[in-house]
Structure formats: C-alpha cells, structure tokens
C-alpha cells in the first residue's frame, strides 16, 4: 500500500491509537513538536465484536487534525488515509471470517514504529507506512446482494458494495480512492503466507484495487451476478471476453447491427487467431439455429438493444437454443442499462457494459465491465491480468459516484426519449423513427416483455439528404455533437459522418447507415426545453 503523509503537528507524547469507538477527544496539539510517533493498538475484544462482517475499529484523530494538514500533505495523502489502511488489516483478520494467519503474519497486531518527525524537514511531513493486507471485498465481507432489506435497483445503486460490503474500514460515507500501483508486505513470511493462500491481500495494482472492487460489487448487485470485472473501456471488456472464452478454431455468432469497432474486431482480428464468425439479423432465430447446427459455436454475442437501430434480441429464447448446443451467450446491455433489462435473469451467461455510458453517466470517465458466474469471470480476469487494461482507481470512484444516481437518470431519460419518439414519429420532416418503445418497432412486443424501460437513445431518419440532416443537427442548441451517449448532457450525432465517414456511401449502406440517420441520446435536461429545441431545429430544414 502506498505510504501516506501527514504534517508534524503533535508532541512526543501524542499518538494515534486504533480504538473500537469514534472518540475524537482528548488529544493535545502543539505547533512545533520535536518529534511524533504513531502507535497502533488493537482492542483485544475487537475480534468478538463486529456487525455484518465489519469491525468498528477506527482511528482516533485529534479534533483539528484535518485543519493541521498542510496543502502539500493533503495533496500527497490518498483519500483512504492512515486509519483505513491500518484498521482494514486488523478488522479483516479479526472479524471477517478470513482464516487465521499463521505466526509468520501474526505481527499485524504489534505496534508499528514510524520515523519521528524531523524538525525543519521540507514540507513539514512525516511518512507513515500503510499496510498491504487489504483483502478483496468478497474474501472477508458479505456482498450486499446477499442482504434482504434492499429490494429496489435504486437502493442497490446507492448502497451495494458499500453499506455492508466495503473492504475499506472508514467512517467516510463515500468510498475512498486508493491511489497506489502496488501493495507491500512487512516481511517475507507475510508474502509467503499470501502466496500459499493462508492470508488475503492485494499485491499489484493491475490485479486489483480496493476502490475498484467496490465498483465491481455494486455492478454485480445490480445485475444479480456472482462476479463482475471492471476494466479500462467497453472495448477492452469485449475483446478480453472473446480471447478468453473462444478457443482457436472456435466460432462466434453475432448480429448485423452492432457497434462498429466490435464488428471490426470480430471480422479482422479474431480470424488471425483461428476464430471464425457468422453474422445474422438480430431477430433471425432460424439463422441462429442454422449456425449452431453447422458450426461448433463457442459464443453468441450481441447487443440488445443494438447500435444504432435499437433492435432487440429474445434473450430467453436464444439462451435456450445456444445452451442446448453448448454455446455461451453474452449480451451487451449498454443501451438497455441494468435498470431497464436484466440479461442474466433472462438466461444469458454474461452481460457486458460500456460503463462509459449510462453507468458512469456524466461523460467524464472511460470504463467497461463484464458480469456473470465467478468461474467465467475468473477465466477472463486471468487474461486481463496478463493483458493489462486495468481501470484507474480515480475512474472507479467516478463510476461509483455516477451509479448512485443511475436509476434517477435512467427514469428521466426513458421518459424524455419515449415522449420525443412519439413526437418525432408524427412529424412530417422525420421519415422514420427507431425506438423499441414505439408500436412500429419490429421488436416492440419483445421489448415490452424483457425490458422495464426502453432507454434514452432514439435514432431517426430526417426526410432529406446528408446536407439537410447536417442543417438539422447544426440548428440544435442543447445537445453536443459528439460520440458516446448515456450521460447527463444530451448528445447528437450523424453516424454516416461520426462513425462511418471513412467508408463510401455505398459501403455505409451495406450496414444500413444512411446519410440522413440521426442518433439522439437524451440527457436529463427538462423535457420541454429539449422538445422546443428539436422542433425549432426541424423548422430550420
């Protein structure tokens, strides 16, 4: 664990003590101490206490500790602080159910010496060693999905992975950011205990981080998944999944309408690994059955709804067909969100999200995630540890923060998109609207069965050519012309230009991308403002 820094602010008689109650009183403060030493002790009865797998051990801070931190010290301190680092190791060993560590590691309860403050040292900082014994959350703490008192997605997005399941002991409501690239062991015997699985710990930043684990647990709870792996981007998640689960000589079935970069990877990169693919229409069940009969299919991978035409796949039906032939099913649910659709509950083996979109929700972070059974996620995670693509803990914090309003944002975006889809469908300057909430959508009845909301993206054809559509897009005042979707701000793009401009018009048409196609991602702005803006832009053409 990275070290933390604190300014010299206490006399030689001052100390930090690990206590079982948050008593912040009784600590003297001196402006110019000669030295200071932090002394950590554990209440012997602490192991007999604890609630829901969490110890109440916290650090006793002097009442004006935060005010005494210098600017430089605050900059250097990770949010986790000394208290959480030290107490996490003790509480995990004493009350979380982790197997007792042999004598080689038993020294965690001993006093930990710290270099005294040097008078006049640059920056007025004293270095305090952390502890490398923070275990993954699911090793020592019950996941919130096992609890019964939260029944709604809204509550899960706020509390999952944190209220009962966080592996960072702290009295902070928000999850701390653990900014470290590696975690240390106090002595070689501790490292051997870890390697021989007698002790749990983080080891290297690419293999795990306490902040990232909270984000994974939160997504698992929302998806009803046994395990989740979160990585640096949605494409990172998809490509890892393909390489980990499809062997050389294997076969993938995917659908015509999908994110272009995913299709490029399937069509150009996987063949170099000896992996072939069949591409079918999202609703063509007969084509899927034929592909399963003709090939030894390892994986059926599709989006539902798809990008950009929002086609829907019968997840329950395709899962039954694929499982009968020994093939796995993975659904990219980015457009649906975990709020609107539960792919795993419908029978899929895995669900993928570009967490950059709705899950993060603020157009400020890149991330991707895969959720499913622990056995499958572990296979993918093993490759992830080799390939890299780890999510930065600061990005994980943004994902956690974004998820706490996920249900509220999605409700607003569902509502605005549904109402605007109806208005656009009735407008004389709109040729066609693609939205699963409309009766005209080819999979409307299917979407009603397997979704609780139809999402915040509406695609539509302007009644005109490329330049007429450009005029409409440029006349809009609220949405940004940008890639991506699912954030608080509305975003609009013309796929022929944004995603397919390197292809000729005839090549674009092979994928159904017409010059007059618009993809509109509704944010959380007021409906009347968005409606007025779209209507005035249509009046301009």
CA–CA dist 16, 6 (Å, integer): 12
DSSP letter assigned to residue 150:
-
Which residues touch 483 (CB under 8 Å, ≥6 apart)?
491, 493, 498, 499
Q: Which of 106, 87, 95 is nearest to 40 (CA)?
A: 87
Spot the catalytic one: 60, 218, 357, 519: 357
- Residue 512, phi-psi category: left (phi > 0), alpha (psi -120 to 50), beta (remainder): left
**Counts of helices then strands in the chain (DSSP H, E):** 20, 16
Query: Among 341, 343, 339, 389, which Cα is nearest to 359's?
Result: 339
* Cis preceding linkage at 344, omega within 30: no
Cα separation, 350 vs 302, whole angstroms = 11
Active site residue 465: no
Is 204 known to be catalytic?
Answer: no
Sheet holding 350-354, edge to edge: 227-231, 368-372, 350-354, 328-332, 297-303, 251-255, 276-280
Q: Is 153 a catalytic residue?
A: no
Q: Among 274, 282, 219, which residue's Cα sits nearest to residue 242?
A: 274
Contact residues for 487 (Cβ-Cβ < 8 A; gap 6+): 357, 360, 361, 362, 363, 364, 521, 523
Q: How many CB atoms lie within 10 A of CB 540?
A: 12
Region label for 135, one of left (φ > 0), alpha (ψ between -120 and 50) or beta (otherwise):
beta
Contact 154, 104 (CB under 8 A): no
- 492 exposure class (CB count in 10 Å sphere: 0-12, 13-18, 19+): buried
| Catalytically annotated residue among 60, 124, 218, 259 | 259
- Is 492 strand, coil or helix? strand
Name the pairing type of β-strands 18-19 and 58-59: antiparallel
Phi then psi for 371, rounded to 5 degrees?
-125, 145
Closest by alpha carbon to 340, among 486, 147, 470? 486
Could you say which DSSP state residue 392 is in?
P
Task: Kindly report the length of the chain.
Answer: 541
Q: Kindly name the residue from 332, 349, 493, 515 that is annotated as catalytic.
A: 332
CA separation (Å) from 446 to 9, 327, 390, 418, 529?
A: 65, 23, 36, 16, 31
- Candidates 72, 206, 429, 471; catalytic one: 206
Rounded CA-CA distance 474/486 in Å is 21
29: which residues sit within 8 A by CB, 6+ positions away? Answer: 9, 10, 14, 62, 64, 68
Contacts of 488 (CB under 8 A, 6+ apart): 361, 362, 363, 409, 523, 524
- Told to judge if 357 belongs to the known catalytic residues of this protein, a careful annotator would answer yes
User: Which residues form the catalytic set?
Assistant: 206, 259, 332, 357
């Amino acid at each position: 664990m990275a070290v933390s820094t604190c300014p010299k602010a206490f006399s030689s008689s001052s100390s930090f003590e690990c206590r079982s109650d948050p008593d912040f009183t009784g600590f003297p403060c001196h402006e110019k101490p000669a030295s200071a030493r932090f002394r950590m002790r554990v209440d012997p009865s602490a192991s007999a206490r604890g609630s829901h797998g969490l110890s109440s051990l916290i650090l006793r801070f002097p009442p004006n500790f935060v005010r005494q931190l210098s600017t430089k010290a605050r900059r250097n301190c990770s949010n986790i602080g000394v208290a959480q680092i030290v107490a996490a190791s003790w509480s995990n060993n004493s009350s979380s159910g982790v197997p007792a560590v042999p004598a080689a590691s038993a020294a965690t309860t001993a006093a930990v010496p710290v270099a005294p403050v040097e008078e006049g040292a640059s920056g007025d900082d004293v270095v305090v060693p952390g502890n490398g014994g923070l275990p993954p959350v699911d090793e020592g703490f019950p996941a919130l999905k096992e609890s019964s008192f939260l029944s709604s997605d809204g509550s899960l997005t706020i509390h999952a992975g944190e209220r009962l399941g966080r592996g960072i002991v702290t009295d902070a409501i928000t999850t701390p950011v653990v900014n470290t690239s590696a975690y240390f062991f106090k002595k070689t015997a501790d490292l051997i205990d870890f390697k021989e699985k007698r002790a749990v710990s983080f080891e290297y930043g690419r293999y795990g981080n306490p902040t990232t684990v909270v984000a994974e647990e939160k997504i698992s709870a929302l998806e009803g998944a046994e395990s989740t792996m979160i990585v640096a981007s949605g494409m990172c998640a998809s490509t890892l999944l393909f390489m980990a689960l499809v062997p050389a000589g294997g076969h993938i079935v995917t659908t015509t309408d999908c994110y272009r970069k995913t299709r490029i990877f399937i069509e150009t990169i996987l063949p170099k690994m000896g992996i072939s693919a069949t591409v079918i229409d999202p609703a063509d069940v007969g084509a899927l059955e034929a592909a399963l009969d003709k090939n030894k299919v390892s994986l059926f991978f599709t989006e539902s709804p798809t990008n950009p035409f929002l086609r829907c796949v019968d997840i329950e039906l395709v899962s039954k067909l694929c499982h009968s032939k020994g093939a796995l099913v993975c659904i990219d649910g980015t457009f649906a969100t975990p709020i609107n659709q539960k792919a795993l509950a419908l029978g899929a083996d895995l669900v993928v999200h570009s967490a950059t979109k709705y899950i993060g929700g603020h157009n400020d972070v890149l991330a991707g995630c895969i959720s499913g059974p622990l056995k499958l996620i572990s296979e993918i995670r093993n490759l992830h540890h080799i390939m890299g693509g780890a999510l930065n803990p600061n990005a994980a914090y943004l994902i956690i923060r974004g998820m706490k309003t996920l249900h509220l944002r999605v409700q607003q975006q569902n509502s605005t998109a549904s109402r605007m889809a109806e208005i656009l469908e009735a407008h004389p300057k709109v040729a066609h609207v693609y939205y699963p909430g409309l009766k005209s959508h080819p999979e409307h009845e299917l979407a009603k069965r397997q979704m609780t909301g139809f999402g915040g993206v509406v695609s539509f054809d302007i009644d005109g050519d490329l330049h007429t559509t450009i005029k409409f897009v440029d006349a809009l005042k609220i949405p940004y012309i940008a890639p991506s979707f699912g954030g608080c701000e509305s975003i609009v793009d013309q796929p022929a230009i944004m995603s397919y401009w390197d292809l000729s018009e005839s090549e674009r048409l092979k994928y159904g991308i017409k010059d007059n196609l618009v993809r509109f991602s509704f944010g959380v702005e007021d409906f009347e403002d968005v409606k007025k803006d779209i209507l005035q832009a249509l009046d301009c053409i």
